[in-house]
Amino acid sequence: MENLFYLEEHTSCYRYKSDFQTGFKYSKVKAGNTIDKMSTSFNHLLFLRNGLLTINCNEYADRIIKKDECILIPKAAKMSCKALQDAELLVMTFDVMQNVCDKVMLHSYRPFYTQITYNFTPTSIRHPLTSFIDLLVTYLNGGIDCEHLHEIKEKEFFLVLRRCYSKEEIMNLLYPIIGISDFKSFVLEKYGTVDNVSELVDLSGMGRTAFDCKFREVFGMSARQWMLKQIATHIRYKAMDPEVTIKDIMNEFKFNSATHFNRFCKQQFDCTPGDLLRKSRAK
């Protein structure tokens, strides 16, 4: 697609995706460069066409993604990604499913959710998904960037996934968002913007009792337990960075004293802050 007819008409349309939030984006990344500027307000599916990547996502460290593999980065995740070789990457950024059939598909997998041992492993890209990706990259490189195209191709992706991949493969890929509800989506989007459960309850517009019951129903634990677990996950991720100090972590996560942080590490990791840094960086 060397020439796009009527380019000015295309790019001047208000449906042209000049301000990228959701949809597809294609990029090339040089070996040694990092990819870490992904909005935590959305889910991101990474499709690697060429090259080799290493990804850290929450508690999962140093996962290797090879050519013709894909993986999901869920909303609110702490992640970093580095190209070990020159890479070609297509990223699909999305929030909730657009198609009712896709929502029903994910909801139907919910009963099997607890039977899966999820370990943030990539899924193979194979025909016809390879053809879908190749054609979409051709469109994007050619300047066809209409919002309608992105919406249509997102729906097409999930259609291809349902028809050409097993339920086990789909659950492995989409595990973090299987059975997700509006309430769960709200919690994942907002919990990082508040300092405590009470503030999250206020944002929800629900009464405290109703919120607590709904939270236990959806997450299987109290809101306080869950939020402490998320903080622990993000701290473990942060501790992997060799340049980060204990004081840096305390400041970022608002621990008011060394005693407070030490007690937190004992409860969540069964070790001291210093031991946490050493263990995290020894992997």
Q: Report d(CA 32, CA 26) in Å as an integer.
A: 18
Same domain, 144 and 220: no
Same domain, 158 and 200: no
Same domain, 54 and 156: yes
**Residue 86 is part of a domain; what is its CATH number?**
2.60.120.10
Same domain, 83 and 100: yes
| Domain end (from 158, 177, 196) | 177
Same domain, 70 and 163: yes
**Residue 247 is part of a domain; what is its CATH number?**
1.10.10.60
Same domain, 132 and 41: yes
Query: Phi and psi dihedrals of 182, rounded to 5?
Result: -60, -40
Written as tens digits, the pLDDT of the chain (283 aa) is: 456 666 666 666 666 665 668 899 999 999 999 986 788 889 999 999 999 999 999 888 889 999 999 999 998 888 889 999 999 999 999 987 777 788 788 878 877 777 778 899 999 999 999 999 999 999 998 888 888 889 999 999 999 999 999 999 999 999 988 866 778 878 988 888 898 999 999 999 999 999 999 999 888 899 999 999 999 988 988 898 889 999 999 999 999 999 999 999 999 999 999 999 998 887 5
Question: Would 245 be classed as within a structural domain?
Answer: yes
3-class secondary-structure state, position 283: coil
Domain hosting 47: range is 7-177
pTM, full prediction: 0.74
Query: Phi and psi dihedrals of 94, rounded to 5?
Result: -150, 165
Same domain, 135 and 236: no
Question: Would 192 be classed as within a structural domain?
Answer: yes
* Residue 84 · residue 185 · CB < 8 Å: no
| Domain end (from 147, 177, 207) | 177
Query: Structural domain tally of the chain?
Result: 2
Question: Would 94 be classed as within a structural domain?
Answer: yes
3-class secondary-structure state, position 80: strand
